[in-house]
Amino acid sequence: MRARRRTVALAASLVLALGAGPLAVPAFASSTTPAAAGACPDGVNARALCEALAGLPDADATAALVRVGGTDGTWRGSAGVRDLASGRAADPDARFRAGSVTKVVTAAAVLKLAARGEIDLGRPVQRYLPGLLGKDFRPVTVRQLLNHTSGIPAGDGLGETFEEVYAHRYDTLTPQAVVASAAAKGPEFRPGRKQHYLNINYTVLGLLIEKVTGRPYAVAATDLVLAPAGMADTYFPGTDPRILGPHNHGYQAVEKADGTTEFVDVTEWNQADRFAAGDMISTTADLERLLNSLFAGRIVPRPQLREMFTVPAHIEGAEYSAGLQRFEYGGRVHWLKSGGRYGYNALIAGTRNLSRTLVYSVNATDAKGEGMNPVAERIALAALK
């Protein structure tokens, strides 16, 4: 019972929108790399990590890619299949949708511009983007956008249910339209009074980056963050619904009228509305480069980097900083960011001194579900303890 309580606490603290419980599904053939299947040396909880990937694909995930690193040691593993039709082994170097891990890049780009004197974190965003928010909004500082204390409500999407948004997966919803729909609702709370994690904060930050640099977000973010970190396999797809280059397919489990479960291929999806909040495509190796470069101070100068490791002290229960989330587990403080798009879950996590790092991509079959995906949960428990 104690172990179960610990697992539930971890799931709640990580706030990962990952897949949910067991489903009635056809049998899968398991496919794992040697690292996941049997070559499990001592160190870095390797045995537990191997066990975490055992049996994939299953009802919860069709593939998983994992990289554990840091001064404590390293471990690499992958399991599952590239696609259900062929049953080929998952590509460990595959590209995937990183979802809200994009926010780490956006935050780093803003902080780098702040270090150059091009952005003042204490200045209202309305001064940079006049007319973006209505007269009902009090001044919202750039820092309040970074740490989700702006009070700007969520913008509208292309539907509420999976069936609704899936029907519109090739449609384009612009960031400007998303912000306009949020602004029309008026403020959710007075800026700085609460912390509410929402994509809208980083959608606005993406528009701010474009205004300050005079370049599209994708170009500016690549120049400011991706290129210095050596992330050659990472890009922003914009309105292109495809994942270019090698990739493992993503699936959503959908219950049919007869009670059986169908796995719908959701690999292709126009993510334009996610923009600077969540449309990045990357690899586990690139995200590990981002994590190491960022925490080591090679991307953002250390005075501004402190913003990424500072949560608002005046807000009770606050756990989000600029681009990251504070998470304490196993006697260590980890700084992490998770991301979830249909068919794909991703996470980067690390201790401040880089003694332990974790990057994973899990092809969850309910990536936008309420609970934590069981496969991702097993990986996190094994890697972070």
Q: Determine contact, residues 217/274, Cβ cutoff 8 Å.
A: no
Closest Cα to residue 252, out of 266, 239, 241? 266
Contact 35, 54 (CB under 8 A): no
Cα–Cα distance measured from residue 191 to residue 74, given in angstroms and rounded to the nearest whole number? 42
ω before 139 within 30° of 0 (cis)?
A: no
100 included as an active-site residue:
yes
Secondary structure (DSSP) of 178-193: HHHHHHTT--SS-TTS
Q: What angle do CA 209, 214, 220 make, to 5 degrees?
A: 55
DSSP-derived secondary structure for 293-313? HHHTTSSS-HHHHGGGG---T
Q: Please say whether the dihedral angle defined by the alpha carbons of residues 110, 113, 335 and 51, taken in this order, is positive or negative.
A: positive
Residue identified by tokens 């049997």 is 38
Cross-strand partners of 96: 282
Element (H, E) at 281: strand 280-282
| Cα gap 181→31, rounded to integer Å | 45
E strands in 189-276: 251-255, 261-265
Which of 31, 100, 293, 321 is an active site residue?
100
Distance CA 309, CA 323 (A): 9
Distance, CA of 138 to CA of 140 (rounded, Å): 6
The rounded distance, in Å, linking the Cα atoms of 229 and 42 is 30
Q: Which residues are catalytic?
A: 100
